[in-house]
């Protein structure tokens, strides 16, 4: 049998003579509404073979391997390479025939469908590409079947999206040719039962937060590699240097790693430096307009590529596409539904429209590992085009208003939940939605709605403290300035909340003059509207400021008054903070016993609130006050509590909470005279501690950074002086650096005795009554467990978290080799532990 390889431009000269005649026949046979206008060359029917690529494929090794493996599977007959325009589907597909030539021994044929418009022309186009005299679908199908029959053959069809109605014909073709496989490139999923979809994603991007240290390593990242290749084609003397490396990385990220966008941007290096080009990419559609001459017209500018996709949408899909541009950094389905409802048109077909945008690669699904809901996101270049469409429509104002009010509503909910024990969940939500929140705030400022601008800036208080004090301060100042020209009336309480928030942020910035001025004003406003909770919050800030300035009697009075006002309220977080400020003020005045009592109350309330940073602060405070009275067993208990919470934080993977846990751990083990270990824990904390505003990052020396952080998170920095003095500068720095480079697992392992300056002493009588290696705290838990107390009751009685109680119970079961409460109780009774 003669094997015939059909590739790219084979038999081109033989076909030219009969193509003109074939066009005439087709024009006569095709109904008038399907005829391509003869006045436009782009509409005329012709089999367009894909040309052989001359440049190497970059950054797609894994994709090529995966596609080839799929095509070699017997159950994969139709494989669609789907993805947005400009992502490189065609270039990737052209790499495949040569890679699978040994599998498809009877040949391959690559066909472009870009120039045809009617679905009825798909099979005739394929037939013509195969050198057949294709005319109509029924004839063409028979001709193709006769030519291929049972041959092992691969057919590559490029740009199928605009003739997607012809998808069922591919099913017929596969049924007629049992050994045929079809590889399709399309911006649209074909939605056939037989179809297997391979999503082509943009090229790998550099991580701007952790760029490679060398230009050589940076150049090996796929998006950068492609950009550099095209840049050197445009400007042969262009080189990646330390001066322009960050700008090049930013360009690649700004353009989403889309190959077409990167190629168009690289061409502009004839006019701009990378830094200059980056500045121009605020509006990429007006910059990326100089494509290569031999590219299809739709790919010669970024705008034309996106227009091509936009024209394929229905009117309902175009409307949704425009509206989705208002979301920055993605959104949930609930957010899409809320905007649709607020803008009048909650369509019955909304879900279908969302699904269609997904299938047409104009919307991406972004899985959230830590959340149940799905998030949807547009590539930034696509969003820019959708935003242009929105701005040119008559609905921009109503869509933006709906978006802003929706996120204001959610931010209020977030603040309420944060103050009632779900802080970590909602702080994570704020982190994921921050760009949408910022966009909503900017809209309120633009429309001079000062009341809502103040509300939004105030509701994000927990986030400002944890992540970006600088930006929080900026938001509130902008909102207060907006009050002078506001079209909405600003309520006294709203202004009071904003002034209080500025005072609170000033406290963390150590701007005491600002703290005093704004706290006094906020207190006056809250008293004016008789707002007890507001009054208590301001008193707490005044107490905290006085404490950190060493004004201990003032701090005690302010915290005591705050506690009095807070009694009976449902805000354990603030009450916990107030008890801790009062306890510290008494500790510094030498009243260790009362400080210890108040510290226990603060820890109990912090555990009720569930706010991690306050819990760590309270655990350390209780350990500190216990150590001052020589209660070493209580110090050990707090060490165990801190260890359990740290392990739980590690499971979440959130870096800053882990860092804060390590800070608290370091302070507690320092009380136990584990000085080297403490320094190592702090060194690791510094490596993990991340904030948007980079606060304290300018303090390069470990000692300076740690003093600020310990004051911020523990209200106590004196422990660093003890550790630094005991170890000396060199040993402290060595331990710090060692901890920075250790894994968390290694770091949290109990150090060997020779690395500990002094072992904590446990009374002999307690040690004797703790068989099987039970610690004193585990013995306490076992005793209460044997008395029939639940885990929750044990946690309340010992003032530790439920997580820690359960951790102790697991340890008890393991050490006693039992597996139930009843067995543990029996053991306790037999050994006289109750």
At 612-650, the pLDDT tens digits run 889 999 999 999 999 999 888 889 999 999 999 999 889
If you write DSSP's letter for every residue of 239-294 in order, what string do you get?
Answer: ---TTTHHHHHHHHHHTTT-HHHHHHHHHGGGT--HHHHHHHTTSHHHH-----TT
Please list the helix, strand and coil fractions of the chain in percent, rounded to the nearest 5, in that order. Answer: 65, 5, 30
Highest-pLDDT range among 6-10, 512-516, 605-609: 512-516
pLDDT of residue 487: 95
Phi-psi domain of 590 (left: phi exceeds 0; alpha: psi -120 through 50; beta: other): left
Residue 36, pLDDT > 50, answer: no
pLDDT of residue 19: 45
The residue behind tokens 């092992």 is: 152
pLDDT of residue 547: 94
Instruction: Tell me the domains of the chain and their CATH numbers.
Output: 12-199 (3.40.50.300), 208-303 (no CATH), 313-393 (1.10.10.10), 615-755 (no CATH), 764-830 (1.10.10.10)
Beta strand extents in 113-177 (DSSP E only) = 153-158
- Cβ(91)–Cβ(136) below 8 Å: no
If you write DSSP's letter for every residue of 704-740 in order, what string do you get?
Answer: HHHHHHHHHHHS--THHHHHHHHHHHHHHHHHHHHHH
In the chain, % of residues over pLDDT 90: 57
Helix (H) or strand (E) holding 810: helix 802-816
pLDDT of residue 694: 62
Band of the pLDDT at 49, cuts 50, 70, 90? low
pLDDT of residue 584: 96
Residue 80 pairs in a beta bridge with: 184, 197
Helix (H) or strand (E) holding 577: helix 572-588
Q: Is 167 helix (H, G, I), strand (E, B) or coil?
A: helix
In the chain, % of residues over pLDDT 70: 85
How far apart CA 469 and CA 226 sit, in angstroms, is 39
- Cβ(472)–Cβ(501) below 8 Å: yes
Q: Are strands 78-82 and 195-199 parallel, antiparallel or unpaired?
A: parallel
pLDDT of residue 750: 64
Band of the pLDDT at 357, cuts 50, 70, 90? very high
pLDDT, tens only, 224-262: 999 999 999 889 999 999 999 999 999 999 999 999 999
If you write DSSP's letter for every residue of 122-135 in order, what string do you get?
Answer: HHHHHHHHTT----
What mean pLDDT do residues 504-529 have?
A: 93
**What's the mean pLDDT when you consider all of the chain?**
84
Highest-pLDDT range among 170-174, 211-215, 263-267, 496-500: 496-500
pTM attached to this predicted model: 0.80
Nearest Cα to Cα of residue 379 among 390, 368, 366: 366
pLDDT of residue 588: 94
pLDDT, tens only, 238-247: 999 999 999 9
pLDDT of residue 797: 81
**Would you give the DSSP letter of residue 367?**
-
**CA separation, residue 298 to residues 227, 258, 301, 304, 476 (Å):** 20, 15, 7, 5, 46
Q: Are strands 78-82 and 180-186 parallel, antiparallel or unpaired?
A: parallel
How far apart CA 516 and CA 542 sit, in angstroms, is 7
Residue 12, pLDDT > 70, answer: no
Q: Are strands 48-49 and 153-158 parallel, antiparallel or unpaired?
A: unpaired
- Cβ(115)–Cβ(86) below 8 Å: no
Burial 713-743 (b: 16+ CB within 10 A, else e): bbbbbebbeebbebbeeeebbbbbebbbebe
- Cβ(153)–Cβ(125) below 8 Å: no
Nearest Cα to Cα of residue 477 among 445, 431, 517: 445
Q: Cβ contacts of residue 497 below 8 Å, gap of 6+?
A: 454, 458, 522, 534
Nearest Cα to Cα of residue 618 among 558, 586, 576: 576
pLDDT of residue 299: 55
Q: Residue 553 CB: number of other CB atoms within 10 A?
A: 12
Nearest Cα to Cα of residue 618 among 649, 588, 654, 575: 575
Residue 127, pLDDT > 80, answer: yes
Token reading at 55: 């440049």
pLDDT of residue 301: 80
Residue 157 pairs in a beta bridge with: 111, 184
Highest-pLDDT range among 22-26, 364-368, 582-586: 582-586
Q: Is 309 helix (H, G, I), strand (E, B) or coil?
A: helix
pLDDT of residue 831: 73
What mean pLDDT do residues 72-97 have?
A: 94
Residue 539, pLDDT > 60, answer: yes
pLDDT of residue 773: 72
Band of the pLDDT at 769, cuts 50, 70, 90? very low
**Segment among 113-127, 134-148, 277-291, 407-421 with least mean pLDDT:** 134-148
Band of the pLDDT at 726, cuts 50, 70, 90? very high
How far apart CA 800 and CA 781 sit, in angstroms, is 11
Q: Cβ contacts of residue 277 below 8 Å, gap of 6+?
A: 247, 251, 265, 268, 269, 287
How far apart CA 198 and CA 211 sit, in angstroms, is 30
How far apart CA 162 and CA 823 sit, in angstroms, is 71
| 86-89-91 Cα angle (round to 5) | 95
pLDDT, tens only, 457-492: 999 988 888 888 889 999 999 999 999 999 999 999
- Cβ(44)–Cβ(115) below 8 Å: yes
How far apart CA 231 and CA 820 sit, in angstroms, is 68
**Would you give the DSSP letter of residue 199?**
E
**CA separation, residue 575 to residues 488, 537, 607 (Å):** 34, 9, 12
Q: Cβ contacts of residue 530 below 8 Å, gap of 6+?
A: none
pLDDT, tens only, 378-409: 999 999 999 999 999 989 999 999 999 999 99
pLDDT of residue 410: 92
């Amino acid at each position: 049998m003669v094997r015939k390889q059909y590739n790219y431009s084979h038999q081109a000269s033989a076909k030219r003579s009969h193509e003109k005649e074939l066009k005439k026949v087709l024009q006569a046979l095709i109904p008038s509404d399907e005829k391509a206008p003869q006045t436009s060359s782009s509409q005329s029917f012709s089999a367009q073979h894909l040309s052989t690529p001359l440049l190497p494929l970059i950054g797609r090794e894994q994709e090529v391997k995966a596609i080839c493996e799929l095509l070699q599977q017997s159950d994969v007959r139709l494989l669609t390479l789907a993805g947005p325009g400009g992502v490189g589907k065609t270039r990737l597909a052209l790499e495949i025939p040569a890679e699978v030539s040994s599998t498809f021994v009877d040949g391959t044929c690559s066909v472009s469908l870009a120039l045809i418009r009617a679905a009825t022309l798909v099979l005739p186009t394929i037939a013509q590409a195969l050198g057949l005299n294709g005319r109509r679908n029924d004839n063409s199908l028979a001709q193709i079947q006769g030519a291929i029959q049972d041959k092992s053959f691969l057919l590559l069809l490029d740009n199928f999206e605009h003739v997607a109605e012809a998808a069922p014909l591919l099913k017929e073709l596969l049924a007629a040719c049992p050994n045929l496989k079809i590889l399709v490139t399309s911006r649209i999923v074909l939605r056939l039962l037989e179809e297997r979809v391979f999503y082509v994603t943009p090229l790998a991007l550099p991580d701007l937060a952790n760029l490679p240290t060398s230009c050589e390593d940076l150049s090996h990242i796929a998006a950068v590699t492609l950009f550099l290749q095209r840049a050197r084609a445009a400007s042969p003397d262009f080189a990646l240097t330390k001066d322009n490396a960050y700008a090049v990385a930013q360009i690649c990220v700004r353009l989403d790693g889309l190959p077409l966008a990167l190629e168009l941007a690289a061409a502009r290096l004839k006019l701009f430096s990378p830094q200059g080009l980056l500045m121009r990419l605020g509006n990429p559609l007006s910059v990326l307009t100089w494509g290569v001459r031999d590219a299809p017209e739709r790919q010669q500018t970024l705008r034309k590529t996106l227009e091509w996709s936009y024209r394929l949408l229905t009117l309902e899909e175009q409307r949704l596409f425009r509206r989705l541009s208002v979301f920055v950094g993605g959104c949930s389905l609930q957010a899409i539904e809320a905007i649709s409802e607020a803008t009048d048109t909650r369509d019955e077909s909304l879900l279908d429209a969302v699904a269609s945008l997904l299938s047409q690669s104009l919307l991406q699904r972004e899985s959230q590992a830590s959340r149940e809901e799905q998030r949807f996101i547009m590539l930034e270049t696509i969003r820019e085009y959708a935003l242009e469409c929105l701005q040119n429509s008559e609905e921009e104002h109503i869509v933006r208003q709906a978006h802003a009010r929706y996120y204001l509503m959610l931010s209020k909910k977030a603040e309420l939940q944060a103050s009632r024990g779900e802080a970590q969940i909602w702080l994570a939500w704020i982190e994921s939605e921050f760009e949408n929140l910022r966009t909503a705030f900017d809209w309120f400022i633009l429309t001079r709605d000062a009341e809502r601008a103040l509300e939004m800036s105030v509701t994000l208080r927990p986030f400002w403290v944890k992540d970006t004090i600088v930006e929080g301060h900026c938001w509130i100042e902008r909102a207060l300035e907006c009050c002078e020209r506001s079209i909405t009336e600003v309520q006294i309480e709203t202004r009071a909340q904003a002034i209080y928030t500025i005072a609170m942020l000033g406290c963390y910035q150590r701007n005491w003059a600002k703290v005093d001025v704004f706290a006094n004003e906020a207190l006056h406003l809250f008293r004016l509207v008789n707002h007890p909770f507001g009054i208590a919050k301001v008193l707490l800030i005044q107490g905290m400021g006085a404490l950190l300035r060493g004004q201990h009697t003032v701090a005690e009075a302010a915290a005591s008054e705050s506690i009095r006002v807070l009694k009976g309220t449902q805000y354990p977080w603030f009450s916990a903070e107030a008890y801790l400020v009062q306890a510290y003020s008494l500790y510094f005045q030498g009243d260790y016993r009362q400080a210890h009592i108040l510290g226990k109350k603060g820890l109990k309330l912090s555990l009720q609130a569930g706010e991690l940073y306050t819990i760590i602060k309270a655990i350390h405070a209780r350990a500190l006050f216990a150590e001052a009275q020589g209660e070493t067993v209580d110090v050990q208990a707090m060490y165990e509590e801190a260890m359990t919470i740290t392990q739980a934080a590690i499971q979440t993977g959130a870096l800053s909470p882990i860092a804060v846990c390590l800070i608290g751990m370091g302070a507690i083990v320092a009380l136990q005279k584990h000085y080297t270990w403490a320094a190592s824990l702090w060194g690791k904390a510094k490596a993990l501690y991340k904030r948007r505003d980079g606060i304290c990052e300018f303090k390069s020396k470990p000692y300076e950074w740690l003093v600020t952080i310990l004051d911020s998170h523990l209200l106590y920095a004196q422990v660093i002086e003890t550790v630094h003095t005991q170890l000396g500068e060199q040993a402290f720095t060595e331990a710090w650096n060692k901890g920075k480079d250790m894994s968390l697992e290694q770091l949290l392992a109990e150090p060997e005795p020779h690395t500990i300056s002094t072992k904590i002493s446990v009374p002999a009588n307690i040690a004797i009554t703790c068989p099987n290696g039970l610690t004193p705290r585990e013995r306490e838990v076992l005793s209460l467990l044997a008395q029939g107390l639940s885990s929750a009751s044990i946690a309340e009685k010992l003032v530790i978290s439920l997580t820690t109680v359960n951790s102790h119970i697991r340890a008890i079961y393991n050490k006693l080799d039992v597996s139930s409460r009843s067995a543990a109780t029996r053991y306790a009774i037999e050994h006289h532990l109750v």
